[in-house]
Chains A and B, each alone.
Chain A
């Protein structure tokens, strides 16, 4: 955990330095600096939801101990990163489009749908008493959400008319090498941060579960 924390701090510091002192300012102006955190955060939230879906699938298939808890923590991370995606995206949009939100952009709306879908995961989870039934229901719900990830990601590429900028095209990334390098470091930093927070929260949840069991045994 300590090594992971050091790695995450190092990557975050490096990404901040690269974003503000190395990557050039392009036609979008200074506002483009938000892109280096906004897009990696969005991709990390997809990764968290995907990881949560994978753990949910494993729970239903092989039932390894702890898969349900791992799926829950991954989805929790995904929702946090999803909220950050929406907030940083809205700030970017306010400068570029002059509005915090627009309903005419498919990717924005689909990301919001994905985010709200996984927010509802917690409502479902906490409306059922702890036990196998709750774990199974949560896993099935988490798996349904995975379907929305490629739809949300591909929406902008499949849409006929859109206003959301696209950087990664089928022909390759539409940016300078220095910008791509900065983006990759920022993405690595976000993935590392998400993994650290995942391990951190998971350790707390496991400890909490063990303590509850111990308390019952000692009662």
Chain B
């Protein structure tokens, strides 16, 4: 590989790596946001459950016969 070829390869590699690192960072951020959405959804569900009147206990099943 000549020096010129190495420099051309380096230029294209830099562009590729920067874009790749950027996409990986953004993907990690979106994953973190997804986890936060799940956490808040759970919190909202808990709030809804605690705000509602207690549900009637289900009738106990008894064997007949």
Q: Chain A residues in contact with chain B, CB under 8 A?
A: 16, 29-31, 33-34, 37-38, 41, 80, 83-84, 87-88, 91-92, 94-95, 193, 197, 200-201, 203-204, 207-208, 211, 214-215, 218
Q: A204, B33: Cβ atoms under 8 Å?
A: yes
* Cβ 8 A contact of A197, one of B12, B22, B33, B44: B22
22 CB-based A-B contacts, threshold 8 Å: A30-B2, A30-B5, A33-B8, A37-B11, A88-B14, A88-B15, A91-B10, A91-B11, A91-B14, A92-B7, A92-B11, A94-B7, A95-B3, A95-B4, A197-B19, A197-B22, A200-B23, A203-B30, A208-B33, A211-B33, A215-B36, A218-B40
Interface residues of B (CB under 8 A from A): 2-5, 7-8, 10-12, 14-15, 18-19, 22-23, 26, 29-30, 33, 36-37, 40, 43-44, 47
Q: Name the prevailing secondary structure of the A interface residues.
A: helix
CB-based closest 9 A-B pairs: A91-B11, A34-B11, A88-B11, A95-B7, A30-B4, A207-B33, A33-B8, A211-B36, A87-B14
Using Cβ atoms and an 8 Å threshold, which residues of chain B touch A87? 11, 14
Contact between B22 and A80 (Cβ–Cβ < 8 Å)? yes
Q: Which residues of chain B are within 8 angstroms of A200 by Cβ–Cβ distance?
A: 23, 26
Q: Closest B residue to A193 by CB, please name it.
A: B19
Contact A84 B10 (CB under 8 A): no
Q: How far is the CB of A32 from chain B (nearest CB, A)?
A: 9
What residue in chain A is nearest B13 (Cβ atoms)?
Answer: A91
In angstroms, Cα B20 to Cα A108, docked, is 26
